[in-house]
Amino acid sequence: MWLYTVDIILFLILDAVIMQQAMKMRSSYYHDIQLINVPSISHRSRTCFILLCLIANITRTLSIFILDVTWFPIAGYSSISYKNTDLEMWSFCLLRTFPCLLHLSSYSVVILFWAHVYYTAILINTPYMVFFFVVTNIIVYMLYIVTAILFLVLNHLLTFIPYALFLIGILYILVSISLLYFGWKVTSHLSRRTSSGTVLRYNVIQRVLFLTVFCPLLLICRGSLSIMQAVYHITGLPVNLQIIDNSPLGDTCLFLATELLPSIIVLVSFWQKRSPPTLTISARGLGFTSGVFNTGIHNNEPSQFALAATMPLIQPTSNWNAQTEKI
């Protein structure tokens, strides 16, 4: 279908942009590492998101290509079978849902970043946050893969479809709630610092607030729709809703609204600036609670970092009064 061709072109363009950003980050990494002993959490978060987003979009591009190439042969002749059972819907379900997990993993990096900022601001040490993030993602992937194989071996292929849709729907809702919660917390801290005289550049508050409201809204709609599809696969899908289920038009709307568009929004928020003006943040009191934002002029702090980060972040260190970071 031509709609799938449009999807492929748009995702390929985004893949090219992400690749360009990844190369820019790679070239700036070695310059940044000469100024500090370890990369900042903002740099690591941006790098992790870029890589996961690139993998997710490449996977989605491949899945759309397969759907585009095999749509008519599979839908018309149902030529794929296993144990005398049609694999059409099971295969389509894998192609449509597995890239969703990769996109959700990339969004969870933003949650991890904002959670780190929030807990750092309220002076709470979270040494196991990254470990919890990694383990949670591994558990979700293992649950999906093992269940898909199990349903295939037991020849319960159609049962896997509502299960996968329900799992994806729950994950989308959880990610959207987490994005909304931690994004709102970070926005509140930034707003309080601004009202107390802090000067923030790059329109940080506006970008964080836009991402906090817009992305969770799209993701929670996708999650609700997936759960509704899971229920209707069991009870029967109404005729007026069949256009959103396993159709090129429905897939195009879902992919563009809940994968391509949120990826672009987050990518812009994490964009690597070539020559940004610097803003020095004192890490006294861990940043947002009692730290001081200034322009870097007449700065009495003993050390300064020249990082091209686009979002504010203070790292917890053993010496609360010494470290500064330019963003």
pLDDT digits over 77-96, tens only? 444 444 445 577 778 788 88
For residue 14, CA distances in Å to 18, 254, 260, 264, 310 come to 6, 16, 8, 8, 20
In a 3-state reduction of DSSP, which class is residue 295? Answer: coil
Residue at 294 is within a domain:
no
Residue at 16 is within a domain:
yes
Residue at 131 is within a domain:
yes
Residue at 314 is within a domain:
no
pLDDT of amino acid 82:
46
Instruction: Enter the tokens of residue 297.
Output: 């002029």
Residue at 285 is within a domain:
no
Question: Helix %, strand %, coil % for the chain, to 5?
Answer: 70, 5, 25
Contacts of 207 (CB under 8 A, 6+ apart): 268, 269, 311
Whether 320 has a pLDDT exceeding 80, the answer reads no
Residue at 118 is within a domain:
yes
Which of the pair, 149 or 314, is modelled with greater confidence? 149
The phi and psi torsions of 306 (rounded to 5 degrees) equal -110, 70
Gap between the Cα atoms of 282 and 128, Å rounded: 25
Q: What is the pTM of this model?
A: 0.74
| Averaged confidence pLDDT in the chain | 71
Residue at 90 is within a domain:
yes
Structural domain including 85 reads 2-275
Whether 187 has a pLDDT exceeding 90, the answer reads no
Domain count, the chain: 1
- What is the tens place of the pLDDT at every residue in 124-176? 777 788 889 999 999 999 999 999 888 888 877 777 888 898 999 999 999 99
Residue for token pair 């807990």: 119
Residue at 305 is within a domain:
no
